Amino acid sequence: MRVFKKIILILSILFTIFWIWYEYTYAMDTIIPFEVNKDKAKANVLIASQGSRFKDSLVQGILKHYQQDSIYFKVIDVYMLFTVPIDEWDAIIMINSWEYYDPPSNLTKYIRKYPDRLDKLIILSTVGSSNRSLEDIDVISGESIIEKVPDYMSIIVTQLNKIIE
């Protein structure tokens, strides 16, 4: 019986160490909300993202692309999306990671809440594969490779221009 307790204890310790390592290595940073061009907006665009080097570079690239335009951008953490009514925005860009090949439940709930407004959504999901999707929504998906930021930015900008023009 003592051997069994030792094995359970060792496995528990190993699991805890693994969990701490996993969270430290793969957990996303929280986005601190900020706004750009609040006073001179011809369009209102919300970016809901997670914090990582790749996602932060993508958000900054989008903002830089539109820096001369009078578009109001608000950037929030994707997990705060439930606090934002979709009708306040001309477009919403969601940049997040899917775990276990599924979107986060808050993103799915948000999308289901507004089934008649899906044309406002641009979703980039970093899932490590390009064949993931949500029903009735085009999802841009791929790997979080920093060298691919310009490629994904170009796709997002093209889609955003179609929505706001």
Same domain? 62 vs 130: yes
Q: How many domains does the chain have?
A: 2
Asked if residue 104 and residue 60 are part of one domain, the reply reads yes
Question: pTM, whole model, 2 decimals?
Answer: 0.76
Taking a C-beta distance cutoff of 8 angstroms, is the pair 94, 48 a contact? Answer: yes
Asked whether residue 102 falls in the same domain as residue 57, the answer is yes
84, 21: one domain: no
- 52 with 83, same domain: the answer is yes
Give the ranges where 27-148 is alpha helix by DSSP (H): 53-65, 105-113
| 73 shares a domain with 7 | no
Which domain, by its residues, includes 147?
34-164
Q: What is the CATH number of the domain that holds 116?
A: 3.40.50.360
pLDDT tens-digit readout, 18-37:
776 655 555 566 778 888 88
Same structural domain, 78 and 157: yes
d(CA 60, CA 92): 16
Write the pLDDT tens digit of every residue in 104-139: 777 888 888 888 888 899 988 886 544 444 555 556
